[in-house]
Copies of this chain bind each other. A is one copy, B any other.
Amino acid sequence: MTTAPAHLGLRSAELVDDVVDVSLFDGWQIRLHTLALRDLCPCPECRHPVSGQRLFESARVLPRTRASAVAVSGEGALLLEWEDGHRSFFSPASLLEASAARPAGPTQIRWDSGRGSSLCRHVWDRVSTEESALSEWLRETAVFGFALLRAAPQVAGAVADVAEIFGAVRETNYGRVFDVRVSVDATNLADTALPLSPHTDNPYRRPTPTLQLLHCLSSEAEGGETVLVDGFAAVERLGRDRPDLLALLARTPIRYAYRDGQAQLAADFPIVTLDREGMPTALHLNNRSKGVPAGAPEQVREWYDAYFALLAVVDDPAQQVVFRLEPGDLVLFDNERVLHGRTGFSGAGARHLQGCYADRDGLLSTLAVLER
């Protein structure tokens, strides 16, 4: 149904038991309940012509009327007449739209290490001035879960300006912009030169930020390369090998927690959130802030088996894209899909990134408007 050409005209329409059967000229059939059709009536009395917002209360209108007749109008539209005197016209295109469940955003493409050889480096000067360049950068992010940007202004706070080109910054207790400064003489492990395993940020926060931007301001140390993993590809690989372990991860909520002098955050998420069809919709994977599974002690070992099996996929170089962020480089990624980490580094010299969080809604909205 989703691929039916919208220019097809209507051949016939029939009303049987409150269901409208429509035949199109190319053999397509559409069946829609009259309740849905009245609720979707596109006339300017029923729908705001710009926003598409419904202008009547469904509960007051739908139970009090029924379709009394259907017909194909002279222009090839579907005409419904209602017992309360209302009339609804549906073009073939609007009927197809009503009958097909289209995805709410661009279709995702999974990737593995092979993607590292074909990374587009979008350039800030073009992205910030040309709609087509902005659209390409955003579409790549929506489809692959991340995209790179080159030559962003090398000034503190620029990462937020970049985010604002497509949406709003999600400010948190870490501020509007946060610093990731790593120096080799640090005493705190989190600030040392040790590698960080691929993870998602802020799983202890609900709602979790859905996008993250990391902007490199200086990169004098050797090593410290950025590692990205398509977490959904990793989940699907685990699901092929060990569906039982994936199901266990998906049904076991884990307490994530963080506290400092100004904040105290806690949230329960399974490592993997699956939709009704078993497709991954979110990952919350962070070894530093995770709690342990609740339930009988005997089930705990099984959960760790599943957790370590997923980590083994994530840590497999075949799943990882590895690159070095140079000053001015910025990476934008989906924080509930793409895991990020860094390799260890050594030698003298500072490494300074600035980051900020944002959300998918603004990105997808800006992309949809640009692509109209």
Contact = CB atoms under 8 A, between A and B. Distances in A.
Interface of A: 18-19, 31-33, 35-36, 39-40, 48, 50-55, 57-59, 62-63, 98, 101, 104-105, 168-173, 188-190, 197, 205-208, 210, 251, 253, 255, 257-268, 276, 287-294, 296-298, 300-301, 304, 307-308, 311-312, 315, 359-362, 364-365, 368-369, 372
Contact of A266 (B63, B105, B205): B105
A262 B168 contact: no
**Interchain residue pairs A-B with the least CB separation, the first 3:** A168-B171, A33-B300, A207-B207
Nearest to A176: B168
Contacts of A197: 57, 59
A259 B168 contact: no
Nearest to A369: B264
A53 B288 contact: yes
Oligomer copy total: 2
Contacts of A304: 35, 58, 62
B257 A52 contact: yes
24 contacts: A31-B297, A35-B292, A35-B301, A48-B189, A50-B259, A53-B258, A54-B287, A55-B190, A59-B307, A59-B311, A59-B315, A104-B255, A104-B266, A104-B267, A105-B266, A169-B171, A173-B365, A205-B361, A207-B210, A263-B365, A263-B369, A264-B369, A265-B361, A265-B364
A243 B284 CA distance: 31
Contacts of A18: 301
Contacts of A307: 58-59
Given A59-B308, A308-B59, A360-B206, A190 B297 contact: no
Contacts of A189: 48, 55
A11 B289 CA distance: 31
B297 A36 contact: yes
B260 A50 contact: yes
Contact of A40 (B31, B54, B292): B292
A58 to B, nearest CB: 5
B369 A262 contact: yes
Nearest to A299: B33
A298 B51 contact: no
B293 A368 contact: no
A39 B258 contact: no
Interface centre among A39, A258, A290 (most CB of B within 10 A): A39
B264 A365 contact: yes
A259 B104 CA distance: 13
Contacts of A288: 53-55
Nearest to A32: B297
A326 to B, nearest CB: 28
Contact of A19 (B36, B53, B207, B298): B298
Nearest to A98: B292
